Structure 1
């Protein structure tokens, strides 16, 4: 498919920064470009997230504090001061749409300006005070009666028609997150949908080309993205994640959230085993002094709490995918990533529910850093890949233009309140 807007690749030695503001943690990573598709992590900062729920800002001051701390740690490690960052956005407010636009091109051969014009018309038709376009992907062109045109440039015809996939976000979450970043004394270079960023980090070219589903299991959200023919074709977010499993354990065992998280990490599984009834685990009770009152529970009781929630998550994903009408490009491959994907048995439940081959996705393009072994770093690593320019497509050009528009509006808003 025609790549009509190839922005400049980052020069060797330039610096990129990504900021992933999640519901459980905030990660800032700074990288230096070493060459095409090669970056080196020079600074990382992580801080527990406060003021964010299911991908949405609910407490601006708490969010700013988390961002400042994470950015400061990354800057200290890298020995530089950041001016701008690429940020991710996630939440159930993400909305996928498909549209078709037609334009008169008679009288001259089609050129880049014509393709740009018809795509910008499509973008303008979707944007409003409620929604902003994050990414836009032409999926097919038609020239008069000729369908399936891959590159219309240089061709003659009367009518050029393009079918487009667009990923939208409600404007208010963009403004709120951008305001938090501005209050942290940083500029927003670009805004990227979190599931798309995770896909850039974890997927290989053949997977994107043949068709693959990327599921990012986070703390309070589970998002997924569908790729086909190297392009993003669909993305959504479900407001259920690993933290909900922790909450289930805390309620079921009458224990504290920290202890519930520890039980999930050390003993948790979504798949039962023959030894579960015999293996006993110690569960401290909520409200009791340390060591005074504990319960001994079989590991099978823990599995019986975790399994239904994990099944629910993948059932939701299956239901949403069935509504996309895109069975042709779903492919037979599924990649799990995100912190909650490391839960034992998650891959097996995903494979049984969605009937696909499943692998665990980790960042692929950040060298030999220890972070390359962590699925929880996927979104932030994808922001760096996006900024590096190694995955430039239609999504990039329109996303950056849209980001500037949104940020101009944010800037006007900030001037009014400050």
Structure 2
């Protein structure tokens, strides 16, 4: 199991991350995280603010449970709205290069987009009669490139990119794969309708109707706040219990969605002579009361809410299967040999052949190639022409070389010619070493290194003795218990819990050695582990607007100050810095967490000293 690969799902409103491992043949969650995004970062799969998204991803990984995610390999999905998916039928006898050309030609007939803006991926399906079936998927090149660029800037490697519908279906219980299925992913803004059979994706469409439109309609017609409307949609939904008016509003908003799905099903079944056997609901609206019955009755099919391939009782707290279904599928796919992957040699060729172009931020290309500046030609005007006429080309070249040498001699004469008897005084940054054996010999000048504003050193920090590795510091665990309260009427229980965890993490990491101290120790801004000791109210008791009280225990690393000083003091002597205020010294040190080695259980930390503060 490639447990060093992170499944990461980036949507418009949040990012989810999961790392899986296999134990006794079953998948288990090793680490997970969720991070909310503000509306100005990602919109409909397109990255609007690269720097904010990079910071969000850093926060996502640092705030993971039970501890920071250290892996540098990621597996991603592309939003279905940015992917074209078709099954192409070709003569059975076409093979090799002719097959590739035939696939491309057929795809160009069916996909309404310029192919220099797309990156394709194909999967050969079993033949049907005298026809060869090929699943053809094409993602928008700019979207793929932007995702690659983000993780490249973060020093991470993307190892796979698939359509979102493929990874979402992979996140479901395997027993659902046995039937011809229509999967409806009903999100906040859109609904993705995808047909699957035992060989994978058959067809997919994107419908611009989602839960947000339903919620706003309830709020407008009942003249209530958005959060209250959202709660009504979840708790009352499509059941007439106690509030038939809410049910009728929801039905009115979902009817256009049902009509569009009916047309999609009729077209597919008539064209392919295949019968859909079940409807699988995922996404936020799938959890609405009565959703499965409503879609089942209106589509005349069995409809169920999708369950993940990991049983609920084996999922960690706060890993809601609805929210994490796609990222669970991504982490699962990272353990498989992929039939469909946008990360191909074809993609790399397209990226390397792209010409650099200007945008609002620095180069948007994942493959960055800076254009070389043209060399400026020096033109001395009439003088050059006159000299050429006088001396001819060869004489002109000789004259120019001699002239340049003469100018260089004038500039560097003090270094080229021997010093005069009246030598200049010794520079302040030089020291004199006497030669005791022969005082008549000239004195040796030993330069001291120029003092920079800051210097950095790499250290290895661990909680068990290391075999004498250079710059190793033995640390101790430091437990910090923090209790905080949070409230936001616009947040669900899960969202408020994630928000609270993020804020507590940020405070802990920013206030170590300031608010949170241990006498004689430096506390490193590295969370080794974190656990929730208590949380009220429970998810069943929570109502939007309630105050959430969280008590968390953070395990940090603390290193003895005297050990740090013993290692760093000789390094400062290299710059002639011998006497300094030790209290200022520790206030002048900053730390950067660089990585973690799970095998040896050591952290790589960069210590940066601001020498100008000493």
How does the TM-score come out when normalised to structure 2?
A: 0.51
Distance in structure 1 (CA, Å) of the matches to 2:277 and 2:86: 23
- 1:135-159 CA distance string (max 9 Å, x none): x2323448xxxx46xxxxxxxxxxx
**Secondary structure class of the residue paired with 2:261:** helix
The range that moved more, 357-366 or 342-351, is 357-366
1:44 aligns with 2:28: no
What's the CA shift for 1:24?
A: 2.6
Unaligned runs of at least 5 residues, structure 1: 1-9, 106-113, 149-160, 277-299
- Checking the alignment, whether the CA contact within 8 Å between 1:213 and 1:227 is kept in structure 2 is yes
**Counterparts in 2 of 1:271 and 1:17: CA distance versus 1, 3 Å:** same
What's the CA shift for 1:124?
A: 5.3
**Counterparts in 2 of 1:350 and 1:103: CA distance versus 1, 3 Å:** closer
What's the CA shift for 1:412?
A: 4.8
Q: Which residue of 1 aligns with 2:56?
A: 66
Q: Which residue of 1 aligns with 2:118?
A: 131
Q: Which residue of 2 aligns with 1:388?
A: 335
Q: Which residue of 2 aligns with 1:219?
A: 188
1:237 aligns with 2:202: no
Out of 220, 226, 245, the residue aligned to residue 251 of structure 1 is: 220
- Checking the alignment, whether the CA contact within 8 Å between 1:196 and 1:235 is kept in structure 2 is no
* 1:282-321 equivalent positions in 2, closer than 5 A: 300-321=244-265
Out of 279, 299, 321, the residue aligned to residue 354 of structure 1 is: 299
Distance in structure 2 (CA, Å) of the matches to 1:349 and 1:321: 17
Q: Which residue of 2 aligns with 1:87?
A: 76
Aligned residues between the structures? 349
Unaligned runs of at least 5 residues, structure 2: 109-114, 355-363, 372-614
**Counterparts in 2 of 1:176 and 1:318: CA distance versus 1, 3 Å:** farther
- 1:93-129 CA distance string (max 9 Å, x none): 3222233456978xxxxxxxx66x5665456555832
**Secondary structure class of the residue paired with 2:66:** helix
**Counterparts in 2 of 1:314 and 1:22: CA distance versus 1, 3 Å:** farther
Out of 268, 271, 279, the residue aligned to residue 334 of structure 1 is: 279
Q: Which residue of 1 aligns with 2:267?
A: 323
**Secondary structure class of the residue paired with 1:329:** coil
* 1:66-215 equivalent positions in 2, closer than 5 A: 66-74=56-64, 77-101=66-90, 120-121=100-101, 125=105, 126=107, 128-134=115-121, 136-141=122-127, 147=129, 162-205=132-175, 207-215=176-184
Distance in structure 1 (CA, Å) of the matches to 2:204 and 2:252: 24
Distance in structure 1 (CA, Å) of the matches to 2:233 and 2:139: 33
What's the CA shift for 1:204?
A: 2.5
**Secondary structure class of the residue paired with 1:96:** strand
Q: Which residue of 2 aligns with 1:270?
A: 238
1:376 aligns with 2:353: no
- 1:328-361 CA distance string (max 9 Å, x none): 3342111111222101121122112221101111
- Checking the alignment, whether the CA contact within 8 Å between 2:148 and 2:366 is kept in structure 1 is no
**Counterparts in 2 of 1:358 and 1:416: CA distance versus 1, 3 Å:** farther
**Secondary structure class of the residue paired with 2:340:** helix
The range that moved more, 245-254 or 190-199, is 245-254
**Counterparts in 2 of 1:66 and 1:246: CA distance versus 1, 3 Å:** farther
Distance in structure 1 (CA, Å) of the matches to 2:338 and 2:152: 27
**Counterparts in 2 of 1:203 and 1:238: CA distance versus 1, 3 Å:** farther
- Checking the alignment, whether the CA contact within 8 Å between 1:336 and 1:359 is kept in structure 2 is yes
- If asked which structure has higher relative contact order (CA below 8 Å, sep 6+), I would say 1
- 1:339-393 CA distance string (max 9 Å, x none): 221011211221122211011112114781147762221111110111111xx46
What's the CA shift for 1:411?
A: 5.0
The range that moved more, 193-202 or 179-188, is 179-188
Q: CA RMSD in A?
A: 3.3
- Between structure 1 and structure 2, the one with the greater Rg is 2
Distance in structure 1 (CA, Å) of the matches to 2:223 and 2:54: 33
How does the TM-score come out when normalised to structure 1?
A: 0.72
What's the CA shift for 1:404?
A: 5.1
